[in-house]
Structure 1
Amino acid sequence: MGIIIRQSIKGTIVTYIGAFIGFLTTFFILTKFLTPEEIGLTRVLFEAASLLSSFALLGVSSSAIRFFPYFKSEDGKNNGFFFYLLLLPFIGSIVFISLYYFLRDPITDLFIKNSELFVYYFDWVPPFMIFLLYWAVFEVYSILLMRIAVPKLIREIILRLLLVVAYLLYAFDVLDMNGFVACYISVYAISMMLAFLYVSKIGSISLKHNYSFISTDLRKQICSYTMVWMIGALGSNIVSRLDLFMVGSQLGLDYAGIYSIAFYMVAVIEIPSRSIATISSPIASSALKDGDIHAVTQLYRKVSLHQLMVGGFVFLLIWINIDNIFALIPNGEVYSQGKWVVFFLALGKLIEVTLNFGNNLISYSRYYYWGLYFTFFITGIAISLNNWLIPILGVTGAGVATTLTCLISFSAQQWLVQVKIKTNPISLKLVKLIGLFILVFGVNMLLPKYHVVIIDGIYRTVIVSLCLCSLIYMLNISEEVNILVNRFIKKLQN
C-alpha cells in the first residue's frame, strides 16, 4: 500500500491545485465572460469527442492493465507492447469516425431544435476525439509504469491554465467564436503532445514488435477481452454522458451550461479517487492473476474507505456552502437553478467513488464478460429515467435520474463482485465513517447563518472541518491517515 499512498498523495496534491485553478476559472471567468449557451457548447463538444474516443479506445484502458504483465520480461523489455497500444485505438478511430458521419442526420435532428450551435460545429468533433484518444493512450502507458504525478500535472494544471488563456482571448475579443472553438480544441492537442513527450522519457516507445511473441492462447484472450470490454464500454460511456446530451437536446445549450456548472462543482468529489484507483489498478490486476482474494479484499476496502472519506468531506464542504457559492459567482442567480442538481449529482458521485473499484476487479478477473449482462440494462434504465424526469423536473430531473442510475448500476455491479469474486468493500470503519458524515452534517444545521457570505462560509467550513477531521483521527478510521498525521506532528515537535 506504500507506493499507492505516495503516488496517490502526489497525484491528489497536483489534482487539487488544478481543481483550485478550475474553480477560479469556472466560477469567475466562465460565468462572467461566457453565456450559459457557450458554456454548454464547449461541454457538449468535449463530451461528444470524449464519448467517441472512449469507443475508439477499443477497451485499451482496461486491457492494457490486464495484459501488460504478460508482455513484460525479466530484462525490462515490453516486447512490442507500445506498438499494440497505438494500433488498436488507430483502428478504433477509423471505425467510429466513419460511424459518426454515418449517423450525422439522426444526431443533428436530435439537436437542431434546441441546440443549433452544436450542429454548426459537428465536424469539429472528430479531430477533437483524436487528441483525447491518444492522450488517454499515453496516460495509460504512464499508469503501467507506475507514474501518475506528471500526467496529473498535465491534465489538472497545464491544461486548465491553457484553457484560461483561450477563455480570456475570447472574452477580450481577440478571437471570434470559430477561433475560440479552434483554440479550445488545440489546448487538448498540446496536452496530448506533452503526455507523449513524458512517456518517451520514462519508458520505451519503440514500435518494434515480434508477432511470434504473442501465442495463440494469449491472442485469443486479448481479442476476447477487448471485444467484451469494448461492447461494455458502449453502454457505460453512453450512460455517463447521457444526462448532459439529453439536457442539451431537450432543454437547450443554455440549460446544458447550467448543468455543466453544477457538474463542475461535483467533479472535485472524485479527484482523490482518480489517483487512488489509478495507482491501485495494476496491483489489483496482479493479485487477481495470482488468485489472492484476501489481498484483493483488503485493497478494495481500503480504496473504498479512503475514496469515500475524502470525497464525502469535499461534498460536505460544498453542500454546507452551496448558497454562499451561488451568491459569490457572477450571474449566480442564473446558475442557482442547478442547486439541487449539485445535490443529486453529488450523491451519485459518492456512490460511484465508494463502489467503482469493483468495476476494476470485474474487468481484471476472468468474469469480465459479465459486465455486458447488466450494462445494456443500465443504459435502458438511464434513458428511461432521463426521458421521464427531465420533462417533469427540468434540469434537476437529470440529476435525480443520474443518482438513481448510479444506485441501480453499482448495486448490480457489487452483487456481481460478491457472487463471482467473493469480496466487498463493506467494513466497520466504512459504516462508522458514514455515521460521522451524518453527525457532522447535523452539527452544521445547528450553526447560525451570518448575512456576510464570506464570513459565513469561512466559519462554517472551519468548524465542520475540525469536527470531522478530529473524529476521523480519534476513532482511527484510517490507519494510513493516522500514520501520516502522527509523522507530521512529530516533525512539528522536532
Structure 2
Amino acid sequence: MTIIKRQTILGTIYSYAGVLVGTFTQAFLIPNFLTVEQNGLLAMLMSWMFILVFIASLGFNSAGIKYFNFFRNAEKKHQGYLFNGLVVFLVGMVLCTLALIVFKEQIVKSSVGDNTLFKEYFFYIIPITAFVALFNLFDNYAKGLYDTVRGNVLSQFLQRFLILLAVLTFIFEWVNFDRFVLLWAIGISIPTILMFVHITNLEGFSLKPSSHFLKSDFKTEFFRFASFSVLTGLSSIVITKLDTLMVYDYLGLGQTGIYNTCLLFGSVMTISYNVSMKASTAIVLDAMKENDFDKIQTIFTKSSMTQLIFGTGLLMLVWVNVDVLFSFIKPEYAAGKYVLLIIGLAKLYDLASGINSLILAYSKYYKLDSLLVLTFVGLLLLLNHVLIPRFGLNGAAAAAFLSIVYYNSARNYLIWRFFKVHPYNWKLLYVVLVGVGLMLVGYLLPVFTGNALEKFFTLTYSSALLGGGYLFVIYKMNFSPDLNSIVDNLLKKVS
C-alpha cells in the first residue's frame, strides 16, 4: 500500500470517527445538559476563534502550503520555515489581542442585552485562538513533509474526544460551569502541544532563523499570495460564521445556541463534499493545466451526482424523523425545526453544484472568484439585517439559503461562460423526486413516542425502511455508475 493511500485511509477513518464523537456531543449532550445560553457561549467563542485564527496567520499558512517546496531542505533545517511562521504568528496574535481589547464592548453587545455570560468568558478567545493558530502552523509544516495523518488524528478526533470528556465532567457534576469552560479550552489546546512534540521528531526540525527567505527571489510572490489569501480566506471563514454572529447580535445568546445546534446538520451533510474535494483536487488541477475540460466535465457531473445522492438521502431521513429527533433534546430547541430544513435545502443546492469552487478558484479567473466571495458576504450581511428582525432564526436560515443559491448560481454561470462545463442533468432532478416520494411515504409510517425506547425504535425502523428503499431505487435506476460499481463489488465480496 502506498504512503498516500495509507494516509488517506487512516485520515478518513479518524475524520469519520471524529464526526461521530462531535455529533454526539454537539447534537445530544450539550443541548440536553447545558442551557441554551451556555451552548450559545461556546458557539460564540468558537466562531470568533475561527475568524481570528485566520487573521493571526496573516496568510503565512496558505502561502506556506503553496510554496513549501522552496523551504523543504532537511540538511538546511527547512530554511527557517518554522521560525518565520512563529514570527508571523506573534505579530498576528498581538494584532488580534489588541483588536479584542479595543473592540470588546462592540463584540459582546447584543440587541436583546443578554451578554453577561459572553462578557464573563470573552477573553477565552485569546488562548484558544493562539493554540489553534499554532496547531495549523505545525500541521502545515508536517504536511509539507508528507505527514498528513497525525494532524488529522489530533484535530479531527482527539480534540473532539477531549471536548466530550470535558462535557461529561460537567454532566456528572464533577466541575462547575466555570471549570468546565477551562477544561473545554484545554481540550482544544492539548492537540497543539502534542503536534509540536511530534514535529520535533521529524527530520530537519529547527526553530533557528535563516536568511534564505528574505534573500530569495520568491519572497515578493510569497507575500503577495499571502496578502491575497487573507482576503479570500477570511471571507470564506466569515461566510460560515456571519449568520451565527448576527443571530447573537439580534436575538441573544440563547437563540444563538439553538441556531448553532441546527447548523450542525448542515455540517454533516457536507461530509460527501469534503471527500469529493480531497479526491478531485489533484486530478482537476492536472486537467486544468492540460486544458482537458472533457475530463473536468466528467468529474464535475459525477461529483454533483454523488454529493446530491448523499445529501438528499440524509435530508429525507432527518426530516421524516425531525419531531422524534427533537424530542430527545430540550423543548427550546424545537424553535430551530425549520432552520434545519432551510439549511438542509441550502446545503442540497450547494452539493448539487459539485466542485465548482475548486474549478474557479484554481483557474486564471481566481480573482473573479474572490470578488464573488466578497459579494456573497455583502449579500448575506444585508439579508440577515433584513430577515432576522422580522423572522428570527428562520430569517437567518433564509438569508443563508438565498445567499448560497446566489453564490453557487453565479459560480456555475462563470464556469459555463469561461469553460463551457456545468454539473447539471435531468438525473439530478430524478434523485430529488425519489427523495421527496419516499419522504411522503415516511409520513404514512406509524410513529411511537411513548418513551425513549419507542422513539429509538421509530428512528431505527423508519430509517431502515426509507433508507433501504432509497438506496434500492438509486441502485436500480443507475443514477451513479460509480456508486453502483462500489455496491456490486461489495456484493461480490459478501457472496
CA distance in structure 2 between the partners assigned to 1:62 and 1:421 by the alignment:
26
Structure 2 residue identity aligned to 1:124: Y
**TM-score using structure 1 length:** 0.86
Q: Offset of 1:78 from its aligned partner? A: 6.7
CA distance in structure 2 between the partners assigned to 1:71 and 1:288 by the alignment:
26
Aligned to 2:258: 258
SS of 2:478 mapped into structure 1: coil
**Contact 2:112 2:251 (8 Å CA) reproduced:** no
SS of 1:394 mapped into structure 2: helix
Q: Offset of 1:152 from its aligned partner? A: 3.5
Structure 2 residue identity aligned to 1:165: L
Unaligned runs of 5+ residues in structure 2 are none
Task: Encode CA deviations 1:74-127: one digit per residue, 9 max, x unaligned.
Answer: x9x976666665555454333333333332342234479222211222222121
Name which of structure 1's ranges 417-426 and 165-174 shifts more when overlaid on structure 2: 417-426
CA distance in structure 2 between the partners assigned to 1:135 and 1:210 by the alignment:
24
- Return the match for 2:371 from 367, 370, 373: 373
| Change in 2 beyond 3 A, CA 1:295/1:25 | same
Aligned to 2:477: 475
Task: Encode CA deviations 1:119-162: one digit per residue, 9 max, x unaligned.
Answer: 22222212111122233334445656666555443333322221
State yes or no: 1:269 paired with 2:269. Answer: yes
CA distance in structure 2 between the partners assigned to 1:112 and 1:267 by the alignment:
28
Counterparts in 2 of 1:106-185, with a 5 A limit? 106-110=106-110, 113-141=113-141, 150-185=150-185
Aligned to 1:249: 249
Aligned to 2:492: 490
Q: Offset of 1:398 from its aligned partner? A: 1.2
Task: Encode CA deviations 1:56-88: one digit per residue, 9 max, x unaligned.
Answer: 333456544544566679x9x976666665555
| Change in 2 beyond 3 A, CA 1:194/1:439 | farther
Q: Offset of 1:48 from its aligned partner? A: 0.8
Structure 1 residue identity aligned to 2:262: A
Q: Offset of 1:446 from its aligned partner? A: 4.2
Task: Encode CA deviations 1:375-425: one digit per residue, 9 max, x unaligned.
Answer: 332222112211211121122211111111111122222233333455433
Structure 2 residue identity aligned to 1:243: D
**Contact 1:235 1:375 (8 Å CA) reproduced:** yes
Aligned to 1:462: 464
Name which of structure 1's ranges 187-196 and 39-48 shifts more when overlaid on structure 2: 187-196
Name which of structure 1's ranges 382-391 and 133-142 shifts more when overlaid on structure 2: 133-142
**Contact 2:248 2:256 (8 Å CA) reproduced:** yes
Aligned to 2:384: 386
CA distance in structure 2 between the partners assigned to 1:114 and 1:84 by the alignment:
42
State yes or no: 1:453 paired with 2:431. Answer: no
Name which of structure 1's ranges 469-478 and 29-38 shifts more when overlaid on structure 2: 469-478
SS of 1:328 mapped into structure 2: coil
Q: Offset of 1:458 from its aligned partner? A: 1.7
CA distance in structure 1 between the partners assigned to 2:300 and 2:71 by the alignment:
26
SS of 1:375 mapped into structure 2: helix
Aligned to 1:211: 212
CA distance in structure 1 between the partners assigned to 2:137 and 2:216 by the alignment:
24
| Change in 2 beyond 3 A, CA 1:461/1:143 | farther
Q: Offset of 1:212 from its aligned partner? A: 6.5
Name which of structure 1's ranges 151-160 and 183-192 shifts more when overlaid on structure 2: 151-160
SS of 2:131 mapped into structure 1: helix
SS of 2:423 mapped into structure 1: coil
CA distance in structure 2 between the partners assigned to 1:403 and 1:35 by the alignment:
28
Structure 1 residue identity aligned to 2:412: Q
CA RMSD of aligned residues (A): 3.5
**Contact 2:235 2:377 (8 Å CA) reproduced:** yes
Structure 2 residue identity aligned to 1:119: K
CA distance in structure 2 between the partners assigned to 1:37 and 1:297 by the alignment:
47
Q: Offset of 1:11 from its aligned partner? A: 4.3
Structure 1 residue identity aligned to 2:194: L
SS of 1:424 mapped into structure 2: coil
| Change in 2 beyond 3 A, CA 1:293/1:81 | farther
| Change in 2 beyond 3 A, CA 1:196/1:473 | farther
Name which of structure 1's ranges 158-167 and 369-378 shifts more when overlaid on structure 2: 369-378
Unaligned runs of 5+ residues in structure 1 are none
Q: Offset of 1:323 from its aligned partner? A: 0.7
| Change in 2 beyond 3 A, CA 1:6/1:358 | farther
| Change in 2 beyond 3 A, CA 1:430/1:198 | farther
Counterparts in 2 of 1:32-431, with a 5 A limit? 32-60=32-60, 62-68=62-68, 88-110=88-110, 113-141=113-141, 150-198=150-198, 205-206=205-206, 211=212, 216=217, 218-329=218-329, 331=330, 333-355=331-353, 357-427=355-425, 430-431=428-429
Structure 1 residue identity aligned to 2:346: G
CA distance in structure 1 between the partners assigned to 2:375 and 2:314 by the alignment:
31
| Change in 2 beyond 3 A, CA 1:204/1:481 | farther
| Change in 2 beyond 3 A, CA 1:467/1:62 | farther
**Contact 1:170 1:177 (8 Å CA) reproduced:** yes
SS of 2:174 mapped into structure 1: coil
SS of 1:395 mapped into structure 2: helix
Q: Offset of 1:241 from its aligned partner? A: 0.9
**Contact 2:162 2:188 (8 Å CA) reproduced:** no
| Change in 2 beyond 3 A, CA 1:133/1:344 | same
Task: Encode CA deviations 1:421-456: one digit per residue, 9 max, x unaligned.
Answer: 554333565454334333433433443444543332
Q: Offset of 1:349 from its aligned partner? A: 2.2
Task: Encode CA deviations 1:328-362: one digit per residue, 9 max, x unaligned.
Answer: 23x2x211111011111112222334437322333
**Contact 2:112 2:252 (8 Å CA) reproduced:** no
CA distance in structure 1 between the partners assigned to 2:411 and 2:204 by the alignment:
36
**Contact 2:63 2:222 (8 Å CA) reproduced:** yes
| Change in 2 beyond 3 A, CA 1:7/1:449 | farther
| Change in 2 beyond 3 A, CA 1:413/1:301 | same
| Change in 2 beyond 3 A, CA 1:316/1:203 | farther
SS of 2:424 mapped into structure 1: coil
Q: Offset of 1:41 from its aligned partner? A: 0.5
CA distance in structure 1 between the partners assigned to 2:364 and 2:311 by the alignment:
30
**TM-score using structure 2 length:** 0.86
**Contact 2:159 2:187 (8 Å CA) reproduced:** yes
**Contact 1:326 1:335 (8 Å CA) reproduced:** yes
